[in-house]
Amino acid sequence: MAMGDTDANTLDARQRVDVLAADVSPFRLRARRVKVGLVNAFQELLRSRTATIGAIIVACLLAVVIFAQSLATHNPVKSNYRLRTARCTHAMDICKQEVPIFKEGAPNHFAACHLND
């Protein structure tokens, strides 16, 4: 076959798009190339079982990242001291009124407790 021949069987996807769309504007031609590329990539993804499973895992992780604010049961930065005093066996009345500050009880051991005062 000569170089100028346009046999659709011997051309790759990009060249086929160019041949089929010879009279289309450059913007539409580029958009069609992108669409064909994405369709081909998706078809290749579906052919490989491992790639499909990997894509599903990535999609699930992305969904968790996007909806993390609504999935979280509490704000991990803001600590609710009032709930912790209900579990403390040494809780006193002052614990319900004011929050204790962190103090060093032993070297490199900090605790927030009114018993340390």
Tokens of 59: 């999609």
- Name which residue leads in pLDDT, 31 or 84: 31
pTM: 0.41
pLDDT at position 22: 59
Give yes or no for a contact between 13 and 41, defined as CB atoms under 8 angstroms apart: no
Q: If you average pLDDT over residues 82-105, what whole number do you get?
A: 72
Cα–Cα distance for residue pair 97/80, rounded to 1 Å: 13
